[in-house]
Amino acid sequence: MSGEKRHALLSASGAHRWLNCTPSARLEREFEDSSGEAAAEGTAAHALSEHKLRRALKLRSKKPVSQYDSDEMDAHTDGYVEFVLELIEQAKQTCADPKVLIEQRLDFSQYVPDGFGTGDCLIIADGTLHIIDFKYGQGLLVEAENNPQIMLYALGALELYDSIYDITSVAMTIYQPRRENVSTYTVDKDSLYRWADEVLRPLAELAFVGSGEYCCGDWCQFCRAAVKCRARAEEKLRLTQFEFALPPILSDAEIEEIMAKLDDLTAWANDIRAYALEASVKHGKEWSGFKLVAGRSNRKYASEDAVADAAKEAGYRDIFRQSLITVTEMEKLMGKTKFNEILGGLIEKPPGKPSLVPLSDKRPAILASSAKIDFMEE
């Protein structure tokens, strides 16, 4: 999570940007932070997920109240808690008492000047450190592999716990429910330390003083200076008519020239994306470099009444709150063997919504025929 009360110049959430464009961190300071509604909604979702996870682990917590509360947020935060509880149960297979930390402050200033952040959830068991980062945003798909934000969190966690638990490997997971994305990246501890010494530290030193070259890429999306950044404008619109060095800030006239083209460009990109997905789902079209996959879904009871009857017949009584306890909680109550024996035939896991993603995505491809059925049912 990146919602710290105060923000370091070189934040973990902005690491993808300042590692690729080292002067951007200082340049951003010239612009007002206008993160707006999406950031506020994300903060609310994090607070709710933290509360639910604490309660699931029988820790004290007061439920937060927010103007952003909704059935969608409720469902997605339930899914996050279920996912974390599943990871904890997996950890218990090799470790009797895994250490679980929620909203842990992490300091990685050994590598990044004044660097700190907050880890949503840490699980330490049997030589493995697992960090889970909850992403409520739906605009940009966030992958765990070589993700510098969660790698910085891992370094901060190692600083705290490596000497105590003799950690050998680090697993890093992004849980992004509104993009139906769960991505995990596992590395050995020594590889992470090498990256920190050979790549992270020298680039962080450049970024802290505002040195290096402006370089645009997908990391520009959330840069506060992006609208007026000259390097980005030259890359996107090929403004090569200027033959002399210019400062990194665009003039008002140049911004007007860019604005005239934005609506058509945005509409065209959205139309292409929608066309490509529909062609894949409805007509079996295959796009080079992309594949059709099923989105993530959560287990649910096929019939709550039938589950309640079966559990009560087996002698279980503490199964109700205001509604039937979740699948994961029921499994924890009964134990895996009894759960499968009593309720195995009453559990279903519906397919996730079809998504068109790059081939680098870890999920297996699905057949267009099955995707078409799900697509038509939307």
Q: Are residues 298 and 168 in the same domain?
A: no
Residue 134: inside a domain: yes
Phi-psi region of 58 (alpha: psi -120 to 50; beta: other; left: phi over 0): left
| Cβ atoms of 119 and 103 closer than 8 Å | yes
Mean pLDDT of 6-11: 78
Where residue 117 sits, what CATH number does that domain have? Answer: 3.90.320
The pLDDT mean for the chain works out to 86
Q: Are residues 184 and 312 in the same domain?
A: no
Domain limits for position 167: 15-209
* CA distance to 205, 280, 370, per residue, from 285 (Å): 47, 4, 14
Count of domains for the chain: 2
Q: Are residues 95 and 193 in the same domain?
A: yes
pTM, rounded to two decimals: 0.66
Q: Are residues 105 and 202 in the same domain?
A: yes
Residue 3: inside a domain: no
The radius of gyration of the chain from alpha carbons, rounded to an integer in Å, stands at: 23
Residue 137: inside a domain: yes
| Cβ atoms of 154 and 172 closer than 8 Å | yes
Amino acid at 31: F
Residue 263: inside a domain: no
- Residue 64: alpha-carbon gap to chain centroid: 21
Say which DSSP state 107 is in. Answer: E
Q: Pick from 174, 209, 244: which residue ends a domain?
A: 209
For 149-208, the pLDDT digits (tens) are: 999 999 999 999 998 988 999 999 999 999 989 999 999 999 999 999 999 999 999 999
300 C-beta neighbours (distance < 10 Å), count: 12
Q: Are residues 308 and 203 in the same domain?
A: no
String of DSSP letters for 312-342 = HHTT----BSSSBPPHHHHHHHH-HHHHHHH
Q: Are residues 204 and 284 in the same domain?
A: no
Q: Pick from 188, 209, 230: which residue ends a domain?
A: 209
For 79-122, the pLDDT digits (tens) are: 999 999 999 999 999 888 999 999 999 999 999 999 999 999 99
Relative to beta strand 169-176, strand 347-348 is: unpaired
Between CA 29 and CA 54 the distance in angstroms is: 36
Q: Pick from 193, 209, 225: which residue ends a domain?
A: 209
Between CA 314 and CA 56 the distance in angstroms is: 24
Q: Are residues 203 and 62 in the same domain?
A: yes
Between CA 25 and CA 33 the distance in angstroms is: 13
Residue reference for tokens 């007002």: 32
Q: Which of 57, 325, 303, 55 is nearest to 317 (CA)?
A: 325
Residue 268: inside a domain: no
